[in-house]
Amino acid sequence: MKNILILTDFSENATLAAKYAVLLAGKLNAENISFLHANQSVEAITSSPMVTITFEEIHEDAVRQMKQWKSEILNEIPPSTNVHFLIEHMNLESGLNKVIEDHNIDLVVMGITGKTGWEKVIIGSNAIRVLENCKKPLLVIPTSTHAGLPNRILLATDFKDVKSKLDSILLEEFLTKMSASLDVINVSEGEGDFVDLRQEMKDIFSVLDKFKPEFHYKTSTDVAEEINLFAIEHRSELIITFHQRSNWFVNLFRNSISKKLAWHTQVPLLVIPVE
């Protein structure tokens, strides 16, 4: 994992996510860290009339905030790591993958707030849209994240297409370099027929055996909630899960576990996309 992209809106949570990502970059021996702020057209609503903020004003303000913000971050970055600060005028969810391709990004990191009301709707939904469109693994950092890298990792799997999901160079590199204890959890909505899962279970054992995982099996009608509760009870410090990317029409009717986890998680969440 050589190139890490960190999304920022210059908020406290973005700073927390950046500092976490910098620690992670050191552990993974990343060569390049890029910070991206996406300028999106906004409107300032005044009493009357409505005033549209110009692109120049948006860009100037972003440059000013970036200069101020990066002084807080630069001291955290090892001298051997190359750092890039990017300000792009684009829609984040549609333009992110081009930035990923242009800079050969391996991992994207962003913060997500734990606030309530409209602020949660706006910021939380933004994270969900990034998750839905991002073609590379996405690490979501909530406000409740503690300083320091994880000593205990929880891998959540539905035992479907296990081999294709786990056959990831990033996942293997991540688990190897973290040197953390590993729990693997499967939560089913009902009593499953494990006879049909023999091959999937065999695959997961063969891939993860060298990490000496502990396996846990739960039943719940709310899979995401059960995973989060397990993470809290077992003091997991990072959750890894997978996200099946599909077209927008299918997503209207899909109940995505990874989306629910991203919205409610109290610990960092690494979401690995699966085509």
φ/ψ of 110, rounded to 5, equals -150, 155
**Is residue 96 situated within a structural domain?**
yes
> Does one domain contain both 10 and 129?
yes
In this structure, what CATH number is given to the domain that contains residue 54? 3.40.50.620
Q: Which of 142, 166, 200 is the last residue of a domain?
A: 142
> Does one domain contain both 239 and 203?
yes
User: Using an 8 Å Cβ cutoff, are 144 and 236 in contact?
Assistant: no
pTM over 0.85: no
**Is residue 147 situated within a structural domain?**
no
- Per-residue model confidence as pLDDT tens digits over 36-81: 988 765 444 344 455 566 667 777 888 888 888 888 888 888 888 8
Q: Which residue has the tokens 């297409």?
A: 161
Tell me, what amino acid is at 198?
R
> Does one domain contain both 128 and 105?
yes
**pLDDT score of 160:** 75
Q: Which of 96, 119, 142 is the last residue of a domain?
A: 142
**Is residue 24 situated within a structural domain?**
yes
> Does one domain contain both 137 and 159?
no
**pLDDT score of 125:** 56
The domain in which residue 46 lies consists of 3-142
**pLDDT score of 42:** 47
- Per-residue model confidence as pLDDT tens digits over 103-157: 999 999 998 764 444 344 344 456 677 877 888 999 989 888 887 899 999 999 8
Question: How many structural domains comprise the chain?
Answer: 2
- Per-residue model confidence as pLDDT tens digits over 200-232: 777 788 788 899 999 998 888 888 888 888 999
> Does one domain contain both 160 and 253?
yes
